[in-house]
A and B are shown apart, each in its own frame.
Chain A
Amino acid sequence: MHEWALAEAVISTASQIAEKEGIKEITEVRIKVGELQQIELDILEFALSQLKTSKLEKAHFNIETSKAKLKCRACGRQWIFSRETLGEDATEAVHFVPEIAHTYIKCPKCGSPDFEILQGRGIWLESIKGVK
C-alpha cells in the first residue's frame, strides 16, 4: 500500500531530526494527516509500528487529521473538501497524488479549477520528542 511509502518517509525523517538534535531515544512523533489525500489511518499506524527502528522502539505516534480547506484563486470562495463529491476513480487518483484534485474539483461558486489548498493536503511531521 501507498501508506507504507509515506510511513517509511516519516520514520526516516524522524530519525534524521533526532540525529540532528542529539535525541537518543524518540518518545513521541506528532503527525498531521490532511483529509484531501484520504490516507487510511489504520494502515499508516500499522506500517509505522512495523517500520520502527530501535531509536523509535518506545515512540508513540500521535496522528491528528486536518480538514482540507480550499480557496478559489478566481473568486476567493473558501470551502472544505468532502470525499463524497468525488467518484471512485477520482478518489483513488487524488489519494496517490492530491494535486489531481485540480482535475476533478471545481470552485462551488464560480466553477474554476484554479484553487489553492490552504491546509489538509497530505502528511506532515509536526514534531518529535525524546530523550537526549
Chain B
Amino acid sequence: MSDPRITIIGERLKEISKIVAVSSGKGGVGKSLIASTLALTLARKGYKVGLFDLDFTSPSTHIILGVEGLQPKEEKGIIPPQVHDLKYMSIVYYSGEQTLPLRGADISNALIELFAITRWNRLDFLVIDMPPGISDATLDIIRLVKKINFLIVTTPSKLAFETVRKLARLLAELKIPIIGVVENMKIKDSPFIKQQVECNDLNFWGEIPFDNKLEESLGKVDRLLETVFARELKEIVSENLKL
C-alpha cells in the first residue's frame, strides 16, 4: 500500500525558486502578519509570489489580505486564485469561517492533499504561514517540502525566544536552513534578542517596532503596506535577501 499523493509533491513544487516558511516557537508573535506582508512586499517588487496558509486550525492570512468570496479554479488540480498580485491558497476556501477541529493525523492528511493537488507553477517565492511551534504539522511540512528555508519570528520576550531556541535546535539537527530571525513588536530598546540569536549561531535579520496602527489596517492591503510595521519589514527583507 502506498499513498500516491506523496510522490507528486516534489513535482508540484519544482518550478518554485525559493520556499520561505515563516515560523515561530509559539503563537501570538505576529507570524501570519509577517508572512502576509513579506509575500506582499516581494510581489510589489515584481516577483512572482505565492502565499500558502498552512496554519489549518487557526488560519488568519485571509483576514489580513481581506479575502472574501473567492474559490480556487479547478484545472487538473487546484489553481490558487490571484489576490493582490499573489497566488493565494488557504484551507478557508473549503472550511469557510467554521471551526476545523483536526488532530495531528488529520492535519498531516490535509497537508498532503493540498500539497498534492495545488498547482503553483512558476514562482520566484512561495511564502508559507506555518503552524506555530513544533507539532506534527511542522514535522510533516519539513518531511514533504525538500527545499524549505525557515524564517523565524520572535517577540522581545524571553518566553518567546526560549521556544525559538528549541525550534532552531530541531531544525539544525534536521539540517534545515534557517535564513534568519526577526524580532517583532519591539517596545523597549534592548539588545537581548539580537545577542541571543547571534549566540545561537543564527542570522539576526532585524527588529520591527510595536505598531499600534497595525490592527486598523487588517483587510486593507494598501493601508497595511503603509504602516511602520510593513515599511520596517520591507527594509529588513531587502537588506537580507539582497533584493
Contacts and interface: CB of A to CB of B under 8 A. Distances in A.
Contacts of A4: 76-77
A82 interface: no
A9 interface: yes
A102 interface: yes
Categorize the interface residue count of chain A: 20 to 34
B5 A97 contact: no
Interface string A78-104: 000000000000000100111110110
Contacts of A131: none
Nearest to A15: B7
A56 to B, nearest CB: 13
Contact of A5 (B1, B77, B91, B100): B77
B102 A126 contact: no
Given A1-B74, A123-B4, A125-B2, A12 B11 contact: yes
Categorize the interface residue count of chain B: 20 to 34
Nearest to B91: A97
B33 interface: no
B109 interface: yes
B174 interface: no
Contacts of B95: 93, 100, 103
Nearest to A29: B4
B109 to A, nearest CB: 6
A127 B116 CA distance: 20
Nearest to B98: A103
B7 A5 contact: no
A93 B72 CA distance: 11
Contacts of A123: 4-5
A97 B76 contact: no
A121 B109 contact: yes
Given A125-B1, A126-B1, A9 B7 contact: yes
Given A99-B100, A100-B95, A113-B101, A8 B113 contact: no
Contacts of B3: 13, 124-125
Contacts of B11: 8, 12
A26 interface: no
Interface of B: 1-8, 11, 74, 76-78, 91, 94-96, 98-103, 106-107, 109-110, 113-114, 116-117, 119
Interface of A: 1-2, 4-6, 8-10, 12-14, 16-17, 47, 93, 96-100, 102-103, 113-114, 117, 121-127
